Amino acid sequence: MSLVGKPAPSFKLEGYHHGEFVTVSQEDLHGKWVLLLFYPLDFTFVCPTEVLAFSDDAKAFKDRNCEIFGISVDSKFTHKAWVETEKDKGGLGGSLAFPLLSDLTRHTARDYGVMMEEAGVALRGLFLLNPEGVVVHETTNFLPVGRSSKEALRTLKAFQFVAVHGGDVCPANWDEGHDAMVATPEGMASYLAGH
């Protein structure tokens, strides 16, 4: 069942970030846009490509008041080891722009509907929360296919645009600087006629 349009399930998770163990709770993030990046496991194959891609784009998210958090069923100690391991040995190379959180109990993955019970890991779930803590976007991939940080950033821009421009909607493939559409029959007709 989709969480879109509903308050995000609360969580309080320990993790690792910038050489320290941290604790992050969903309630502490009120007033910010939040991107939750669930992934199966540290030290695997597609996962580091995703985590590093989102890390590379983290400044663009942060510039838009959006915090990113990676979440897997690994321990905070495994996260530390993965971050600190060199890339040529399957690690993340010593630095990551956002925290990796530990969902050892798997409660958070279950609450967000991405837990694969038979495999014991989370699917590749991506959840965007608005500053009020409501889920406005979710997407879930099966394990073999990674997600795009560029598309997640475009989606964030679109939701931020409509949050500011009440009555406007973002058509397919909308990106910053493109025309939006007024959500009326006339607005739709005008948009389609011009595109």
47 has catalytic annotation: yes
Of 8, 13, 24, 47, which one is the catalytic site residue? 47
**DSSP string across 69-98:** EEEESS-HHHHHHHHHS-GGGTS-TT--SS
**DSSP string across 103-143:** -TT-HHHHHTT-EETTTTEE-EEEEEE-TTSBEEEEEEE-T
DSSP code, position 6: S
For the annotated catalytic residues, the residue numbers are 47
